[in-house]
A and B are shown apart, each in its own frame.
Chain A
Amino acid sequence: MRTIFYIVQKEFLQIFRNRMMLPIIFVIPVVQLLILSYAVTFEIKNIRLFIADSDNSVASRNLSSHLRSSPFYNIVDETPDPSVGTDLLQSGKIHQMLVIPRGFEKDLALANKAQVQIITDAINGSAAALMNSYTMSVVNDYNRAIIAEIAPDAGQPVAVTWSYWFNPELDYKTYMVPGILVLLVTIIGMFLSGMNVVREKETGTIEQINVTPIRKFEFIAGKLIPFWIIALFELAFGLILAKFVFNIPILGNVFLIFSVASVYLIAVMGIGLFISTITDTQQQSMFIAWFVLVIFILMSGLFTPVESMPQWARNLNLLNPIAYFIAIIRMIMLKGSVFQDIINNFLILSFYGLSMLLLSVWRYRKTT
């Protein structure tokens, strides 16, 4: 056991001596958390809209003033000619165009039926769907306003009310910050552990260690503990930032977060160490780690809902430690879930961590 202590001590010395690594490990993730948390948002606040009003009537002007008064829109221009808008769409200067055809007012008055067209740049499908539904609802609002003028009694036959629990303001940051925190801790943990053993291989020091009577698990444990401590420290720091800078609620038990994180980090670092033991150069190791990580991250439910993935992809996600941890940390922080609520995922993560550790101990060869 003393052996482990000496390895841990050596690793810490090496980390703290590298003047470039220190800021990379401790400063950049914090900056990233601060910056990126503001970047990841699907909230649409600034729809660049072009209105092609060929009718130019009281009704059409009322409709466009409805849009103007909404904070979500930035009306780029308004002309009667739709072809101007088409060009703007083409060059990416606007997101959306509303076409009010000639005779809009007349149709509305005579036939009780009029039409407008909403044309959206749909390359980003999800943003397009949101923008479209916003504009549709503005048109509907306007419609309802006209109806209210004519027949004040008419309205919804059912009283639908809704309430948003845990995040009544629908603040997207509340949802993303815990996830980004997981991401940063994961990257630090996986890469530091993934590059570490292979670095000793590259510089040749591993041979000197391999001729000592050190036990395999002592070596792996000694390599894991320093980065485990660093990553947990980073998580603590990130949680403080989340709480005091972003006002993210931490409803659940902080100790529960840390106990899950401890287990999770062992799994992630176990993967890193395993990669490290099967590669010969840092470049290779980094490459494999990166590949694994990008897939894990994008499938984890951090950015896109896990529910909408097909079944096979969800099955694949059973092997994705990041998916478990993101789900758990969101549950604990935002909903105050307790141990009984997450016990299944917790057990899976523990099993995962243990297997990865055993795998890297097994795969690390002192004699080849």
Chain B
Amino acid sequence: MKRFVIKEFLHIFRDIRSMVILFGMPIAQVLLFGFAITNEVKDVRISVIDQSNDQHSLALTQKLYASGYFIDGEDIPSVTLIEEGFRKGVTKMVVVIGPGFASKLATGEKPPVQLIADASDPNTASLITTYASGIISDYSRGLMPGKGLPVISAEPRMLYNPSLKSVYMFVPGIITILLMLVSAMMTSISIAREKELGTMEVLLVSPLKPVEIVAGKVMPYVVLSFINAVTILVLSYFVFDMPVNGSVLLLLAESVLFILLALSLGILISTISNSQQTAMMLSMFALMLPTILLSGFIFPIENMPDVLQWISLIMPPRWFIVIVKSIMLKGTGIAFFWKETLILVAMTVVFLAASVKKFNIRLA
């Protein structure tokens, strides 16, 4: 048994190329996501069609560009050319300031300002129109003398992530994705490979028990995944100042639980697929996309239609992401997520039982 595990380790570690990717990948991804990918909206290209060209309209334009949300897009000389600008994708919003802006302001005539947004990207469109109209009303209110009307000021407080960093959201997601990939995908493929090349039969006739063979095959991946998880945590701590407010030990223990879960899923996939290619496509479509999209990693689950919310209940990553976020960002203990932990344990047991059953049938 020991010799077999060592052989599996050598098999994986000798493959330098895969090693580089396996360890380089988490680093590259965390850095990339941490630095490059954000949901914030800034530097959006807009164009202003100023039909007044007076002191106030120029000042308003100035204010828009000074806000940090917008940068100067291509010049659009006339309203009739807006659609062409959108089609070319050179501008995201056109602000049309109607004629006689300053004079109408002075007479209290409420001069019109039109915001025309390219809403093919609805999210950005709604955010930038909100920002722009906020800036415009700020500016116009600044011109009006105060009248002593009642004002309710709302003071926002952002808990756990005061500067709204996207890293906080991405790190738990990336840990989950990588553990899923390395554990589930890699094991399913490596077992499918033995099946495809016919070497599995050689192992099965050896005195090793099937359980031992499978354990031996997955052992290296447990170690690899664990190293990866630690790498990501260290990186996010030192590079992105991502806190670990709760217990590090608990976090690692939960990670091991999740790794085991992913491994049992991988074994299950390998028992039902007939080739590496099938195993890979199954893992890709059955694991990766749902992990990214249905786990609450990027898109909040509560906004999804009910059916999808139910489906997300059986997505292991969903529960693990809750746990990671709770420990790292909220600093809560097991009392707050014992339910999620239990769900993960139960899923592991179910997957293992299913694959053992499949495995035995195949042998019989």
Contact = CB atoms under 8 A, between A and B. Distances in A.
B156 A336 contact: no
A304 interface: yes
Contact of A118 (B21, B117, B155, B325): B155
Interface in A17-45: 18, 20-21, 24-25, 28-29, 32, 35-36, 38-45
A162 interface: yes
Interface string A112-142: 1111111111111111110011011001101
B150 A113 contact: yes
Contact of B275 (A18, A115, A125, A165): A18
Nearest to B169: A124
Contacts, number: 362
Contact of A170 (B126, B149, B298): B126
B28 A195 contact: no
B293 A114 contact: no
B149 A157 contact: no
Given A165-B86, A287-B22, A143 B150 contact: yes
Interface in A82-116: 89-92, 95, 108-109, 112-116
Interface in B112-168: 112-126, 129-130, 133, 136-137, 139-141, 143-144, 147-162, 164-166, 168
A162 B133 contact: yes
Contacts of A191: 280-281, 284
Contact of B87 (A28, A202, A337): A337
B122 A158 contact: no
A90 B332 contact: yes
B33 interface: yes
Interface in B81-131: 82-83, 86-89, 92, 105, 108, 110-126, 129-130
Contact of A157 (B140, B150, B157): B140
Interface in B188-204: 189-190, 193, 196-197
Contacts of B162: 122
Given A42-B123, A92-B326, A295-B29, A20 B133 contact: no
Interface stretch (A144-152, A254-262, A351-359): A144-152
Contacts of B116: 162-163, 165
B159 A307 contact: no
Contact of B300 (A44, A165, A307, A316): A44
Interface in B232-280: 273-278, 280
A199 B155 contact: no
A112 B141 contact: no
B278 A112 contact: no
B36 A313 contact: yes
Given A123-B169, A298-B37, A283 B18 contact: yes
Contact of B325 (A123, A142, A287): A123
Nearest to B325: A123
Contacts of A25: 281
Given A115-B152, A163-B116, A327-B89, A20 B29 contact: no
Nearest to A170: B122
Given A294-B29, A308-B41, A39 B294 contact: yes
A304 B136 CA distance: 26
A126 B166 contact: yes
A28 B285 contact: yes
Interface of B: 15, 17-18, 21-22, 25, 28-29, 32-33, 35-45, 82-83, 86-89, 92, 105, 108, 110-126, 129-130, 133, 136-137, 139-141, 143-144, 147-162, 164-166, 168-169, 177, 181, 185-186, 189-190, 193, 196-197, 273-278, 280-282, 284-286, 288-289, 293-294, 296, 298-300, 302-305, 307-308, 311, 322, 325-326, 329-330, 332, 336
Top 9 A-B pairs, shortest CB-CB distance = A126-B39, A164-B119, A125-B164, A313-B36, A122-B158, A334-B120, A170-B122, A162-B115, A167-B119
Interface of A: 18, 20-21, 24-25, 28-29, 32, 35-36, 38-46, 48, 63, 89-92, 95, 108-109, 112-129, 132-133, 135-136, 139-140, 142-143, 146-147, 150-151, 154, 156-168, 170-172, 174-175, 183, 187, 191, 195, 199, 202-203, 279, 281-284, 286-288, 290-291, 294-295, 298-299, 303-305, 307-310, 312-313, 316, 327, 330-331, 334-338, 341
7 contacts: A38-B308, A123-B168, A123-B329, A157-B105, A165-B116, A294-B29, A299-B37
